[in-house]
Amino acid sequence: MADIIRRRLCLEGLEPVTCASGALAKVLLDRDTFDAVLLDVMMPDVDGYDVLRHIRAMPSLQTLPVIMLTAKAGREDREKAEELGADAYVTKPFSSLGLVNTLRGLLARTITTTTSARA
């Protein structure tokens, strides 16, 4: 699934970075700069909620847009993600166009907010 998403984002002119585990995601987030994060809840080592907690605990990542992209479609799962600071919650199966539109909307909002804060 990650490869399909990566290819679609590349077709849209975006430059996705993928990783296979939540632990690696934390390392990459600590080390590099990203414009947004697509995060699955179910990962082999550290779940997406834990990665989201990590993101929101870091002052430099407080406004980083996070989209939860997951098969967990329950109300409790969505509410937990929202409470932890997810900006969007997309359940599988999903429309790749809808995902791209959600991502672009969050990126545009972040750019507008950042520009307004600097003005």
Q: What is the pLDDT of residue 2?
A: 79
Q: What is the pLDDT of residue 43?
A: 87
Domain extent listing, the chain = 2-118
Q: What is the pLDDT of residue 117?
A: 46
Torsion of the alpha carbons at 35, 40, 45 and 49, rounded to the nearest 10 = 80
CATH code for residues 2-118: 3.40.50.2300
Amino acid symbol at 31: R
| Closest to 22 measured CA to CA, from 55, 44, 53 | 44
| Closest to 110 measured CA to CA, from 15, 18, 37, 25 | 37
pTM score: 0.87
- pLDDT tens digits, the chain, 119 residues: what are they? 778 888 999 999 999 999 889 999 999 999 999 999 999 999 889 999 999 999 999 999 999 999 999 888 889 999 999 999 999 999 988 888 899 999 999 999 876 554 444 44
